[in-house]
Chains A and B, each alone.
Chain A
Amino acid sequence: GQQVMQIPQYQHVQEGEDFTTYCNSSTTLSNIQWYKQRPGGHPVFLIQLVKSGEVKKQKRLTFQFGEAKKNSSLHITATQTTDVGTYFCAGGNFNKFYFGSGTKLNVKP
């Protein structure tokens, strides 16, 4: 079956440092979505990538979809304490999405 792997599992950074989480799939994905889940909350949609090699930016967040559509990354520049949470990628095809295991980000002020 399709699996979506995500690394690292945990990341502790000092406020102002950069952060990157990587997502890899065993099979080609039709699209990939990124979500952020705060402790005790529900996953909140951040972005969807569809095209091979696509790069999208949201303020300090940069999302990338690999050329082979099997991997993706989320990079946060100059982290802030508000970035704390677990970042999940979710890749899949029509009607079925598999979440990565998530990267838990902790930002020290």
Chain B
Amino acid sequence: AAGVIQSPRHLIKEKRETATLKCYPIPRHDTVYWYQQGPGQDPQFLISFYEKMQSDKGSIPDRFSAQQFSDYHSELNMSSLELGDSALYFCASSWGGRETQYFGPGTRLLVL
């Protein structure tokens, strides 16, 4: 069965650079969630989209923005990267916003 696809899987950037993470949800899923997981920490909810509209916002920094496109894929744009942004970024998708979240494999971002 198709799963959530995230790209790239690994990314190395320098401070103050920008990064774009992409998420392709499971087919027919209309809700996308973004999480940030630091080393040894639990996933922190950043933001979610339902039917291409932002549905909820968590601890997403102002330097980050995200959107969901007409094909339901989502992109997380990160600017002015800081060392503390180094983490594993997960995308999850679900149907209808109330159902099970299926997680992608994550993008490991390292900011030097």
Contacts and interface: CB of A to CB of B under 8 A. Distances in A.
Interface in B74-105: 90, 92, 97-105
Contacts of B102: 45
Interface residues of B, number: 25
Contacts, number: 55
Interface of A is mostly: strand
Interface stretch (A60-68, A71-79, A97-105): A97-105
Interface of B: 31, 33, 35, 41-45, 48, 50, 55-56, 58, 90, 92, 97-106
A88 B103 CA distance: 13
Contacts of A45: 100-103
Interface of A: 6, 30-31, 33, 35, 41-45, 48, 88, 90, 94-102
Contact of B45 (A43, A96, A100): A96
A6 B41 CA distance: 12
Contacts of B55: 94-96
Given A42-B90, A99-B42, A99-B43, A94 B105 contact: no
Contact of B42 (A30, A48, A94, A101): A101
B44 A33 contact: no
